[in-house]
């Protein structure tokens, strides 16, 4: 999905997709199922990309990881992104890790995929693709379950946060609005028709909104 964005975003935005262990070209690697360990791995692997003018974007679990990256950079006094962009992800203070307890049998996970939408029918029709997808979803759930919101005593991030959400997603509006408490800077929240994968359903409009959020800066690296 992110590679496609290169064709539609302005040339001053350089898209650098982050591929996590156990997925895509890294399928031969073991999943990292602990949130903090995964954030640390990304910090190390993407160190070069997170230099100069850059922004961090994440959708769903990626939004949680994007926030974790920004917090890790803040704690280690490293340069911060110009902006944090999160999509389809409740604010850390409004997440309930217990919702990821249980429900990891195939039938439950397939029902979850059906509910969220965004998974091509050819995946459901292929035993091999379905197995890869279910293994990845289990790993994602364990990452989310291991996340602990420990930012209560920390200062808000000194950077703008731009949030995006689908009106038919099951994330409460107040849980999206709570991202405003994570920043000492500007906050925006854009709503789109659609469910959890509204950014695929309305790709053109979403990317236009994304570019507008970044337009105050130039030569950003969007992750």
Task: Kindly list the distances between the CA atom of residue 197 and the CA atoms of 11, 146, 167, in Å, as whole numbers in the listed order.
Answer: 25, 23, 11
CB 13 within 8 A of CB 214: yes
Tally the C-alpha atoms within 13 A of residue 181's C-alpha that lie toward its C-beta: 14
Q: Map residue 21 onto helix, strand or coil.
A: coil
Cα separation, 85 vs 214, whole angstroms? 9
Residue in the structure block whose two tokens are 């279910």: 134
- Name every residue whose Cβ is closer than 8 Å to that of residue 166 and which is 6 or more positions away in sequence: 88, 191, 192, 193, 194, 195, 196, 197, 198, 201
- Beta-strand (E) ranges in 28-92? 54-59, 83-87
Write down the architecture of domain 2-99+149-222 according to CATH: 3-Layer(aba) Sandwich (3.40)
Q: What is the pLDDT of residues 95-144, one digit of tens each?
A: 876 777 766 889 989 998 888 887 889 999 999 999 999 999 999 999 99
Q: How many CA atoms lie within 13 A of 49 on its CB side?
A: 17
**pLDDT over 90 at 194, yes or no:** yes
pLDDT at 179 over 50: yes
- Whether 66 and 37 have beta carbons less than 8 Å apart is answered as no
Q: What is the mean pLDDT of residues 155-174?
A: 95
Residues in the chain, how many?
A: 223
Sign of the CA dihedral 17, 20, 23, 29? Answer: positive
Residue 220: band (very low, low, confident or very high) from pLDDT cuts 50, 70, 90: very low
Average pLDDT of the residues of the chain = 91
DSSP letter for each residue of 105-142: SHHHHHHHHHHH----HHHHH-HHHHHHHHHHHHHHHH
Instruction: Give the model confidence (pLDDT) of 35-86 as tens digits.
Output: 999 999 999 999 999 988 999 999 999 999 999 999 999 999 999 999 999 9
What is the spatial distance between Cα 27 and Cα 63, in angstroms, rounded to a whole number? 22
Q: What is the layout of strands, in order, in the sheet containing 13-15?
A: 13-15, 220-222, 54-59, 83-87, 161-166, 187-192
Which residues are CB-contacts of 146 (< 8 A; sequence separation ≥ 6)?
33, 34, 35, 36, 97
Instruction: Compute φ and ψ for 188, nearest 5 degrees.
Output: -130, 150
What integer is the mean pLDDT of 157-174? 96
Residue ranges of domains in the chain? 2-99+149-222
pLDDT over 50 at 219, yes or no = no
């Amino acid at each position: 999905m992110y590679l496609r964005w290169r064709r539609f975003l302005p040339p001053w935005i350089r898209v650098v997709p982050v591929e996590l262990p156990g997925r895509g070209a890294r399928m031969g690697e073991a999943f990292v199922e602990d949130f903090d360990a995964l954030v640390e791995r990304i910090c190390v692997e993407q160190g070069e990309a997170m230099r100069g003018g850059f922004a961090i974007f994440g959708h769903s679990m990626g939004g949680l990881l994007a926030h974790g990256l920004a917090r890790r950079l803040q704690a280690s006094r490293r340069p911060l992104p110009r902006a944090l962009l999160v999509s389809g992800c409740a604010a850390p203070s409004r997440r309930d890790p217990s919702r990821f307890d249980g429900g990891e049998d195939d039938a439950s996970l397939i029902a979850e995929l059906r509910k969220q939408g965004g998974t091509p029918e050819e995946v459901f029709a292929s035993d091999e693709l379905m197995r890869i997808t279910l293994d990845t979803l289990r790993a994602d759930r364990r990452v989310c379950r291991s996340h602990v919101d420990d930012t209560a005593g920390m200062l808000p991030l000194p950077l703008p946060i731009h949030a995006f959400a689908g009106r038919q997603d099951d994330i409460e509006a107040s849980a999206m609005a709570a991202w405003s408490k994570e920043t000492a800077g500007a906050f925006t929240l854009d709503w789109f028709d659609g469910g959890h994968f509204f950014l695929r359903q309305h790709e053109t409009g979403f990317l236009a909104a994304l570019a507008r959020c970044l337009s105050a800066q130039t030569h950003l690296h969007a992750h």
